[in-house]
Amino acid sequence: MKIGLFVPCYVNAIYPLAGVATYKLLNHYGVDTDYPLQQTCCGQPMANAGFESEARPLLERMDRLFDTFDYVVAPSASCTAFVKTQHFCQTSGKIYDACEFLHDILKVDRVPGRFPHKVSVHNSCHGVRELRLSSASELNVSPYSKLQDLLRMVAGIAVLEPDHVDECCGFGGMFAVEEQAVSVCMGEDKLKNHIATGAEYVTGADSSCLMHLQGIARRQRLPMRFIHFTEILSAGL
């Protein structure tokens, strides 16, 4: 099994530890992992803004860079979902978010991390409704959460769940730019639910959502910390 690690541009620039943690985890499980240095943005921001002609060359470039890999793994549910749903992109058939790769492909039954803290799990919209990382409340299905399954293997952790668990935090990429006031209000509501759990940390599979909530918490000087789930699973490596 040969894995190509895809680290989205905003993760690389703002939250590089999520990429490093994913690499550490893959190595820990004995997976042959490479990181193509020429990789760039997958094109999601352009596509979301309606500029498909600008996004397509980036997806085609991604196809060329990751062509020889069996799987492509990324620490970002939203970028993974974007590439996966672009059916003219060959990489769409083999890209997985780190959570679904560990849970569904490697089927791990143990994790190396130790994290003696209370953690509230944040479910991002892309993760829930496009990657099926957890059950959507509007569907008549039995509740499940792949993210929680993995986190509960971590030594010392207390995994908590906020009210309205799969409600949007208000980030939504371009939505947060074009509808700032609505986006912030949604984020404030979501953050209140996370705080009400009594957690010390909020974690999830999308650094973009965590970034949005972290910005609100910092502006309001709220005592909540944010961490990507791969950093928890790999704690101590």
What is the CATH classification number for the domain harbouring 178? 3.40.50
pLDDT confidence of residue 173? 79
**Whether residues 96 and 137 fall in one domain:** no
pLDDT confidence of residue 172? 85
Residues 6 or more apart from 181 whose CB is under 8 A from it?
Answer: none
Cβ pair 205, 125 in contact under 8 A: no
Domain that holds residue 198: 118-233
**Whether residues 161 and 91 fall in one domain:** no
Task: Give the chain's domain count.
Answer: 2
Token match 């957890």: residue? 134
Residue 159's DSSP bridge partners are: 119
**Whether residues 190 and 134 fall in one domain:** yes
Type of residue numbered 173: G
Take residue 191 and report the two structure tokens written for it. 């953050």
Q: With a cut of 50, which residues of the chain have pLDDT below it?
A: none
- Residue 162 buriedness (CB in 10 A; 0-12 / 13-18 / 19+): buried
Take residue 171 and report the two structure tokens written for it. 């980030």
pLDDT confidence of residue 178? 87
pLDDT in tens, 106-122: 999 999 999 999 999 99
- pTM score: 0.95
Considering Cα of 177, then 183, then 185, then 187, what sign does the dihedral take? negative
Cβ pair 151, 203 in contact under 8 A: yes
pLDDT confidence of residue 177? 82
pLDDT confidence of residue 126? 94
Type of residue numbered 3: I
**Whether residues 182 and 134 fall in one domain:** yes
pLDDT confidence of residue 221? 95
**Whether residues 159 and 101 fall in one domain:** no
Question: What is the C-alpha separation between 79 and 83, in angstroms, rounded?
Answer: 6
pLDDT confidence of residue 236? 87
CA 21 to chain centre: 12
Longest CA pairwise span in the chain (Å):
48
The answer to whether residue 112 is domain-embedded is no
Q: Of 43, 74, 105, which marks where a domain is finished?
A: 105
Letter string b/e over residues 174-200, b meaning 16 or more CB atoms within 10 A of that residue's CB: eebeeeeeebbebbbebbebbbebebb
**Whether residues 98 and 153 fall in one domain:** no
CA distances from 75 to 129, 187, 199, 208, 222 (A): 17, 22, 23, 11, 26
**Whether residues 21 and 78 fall in one domain:** yes
pLDDT confidence of residue 161? 97
pLDDT confidence of residue 176? 81
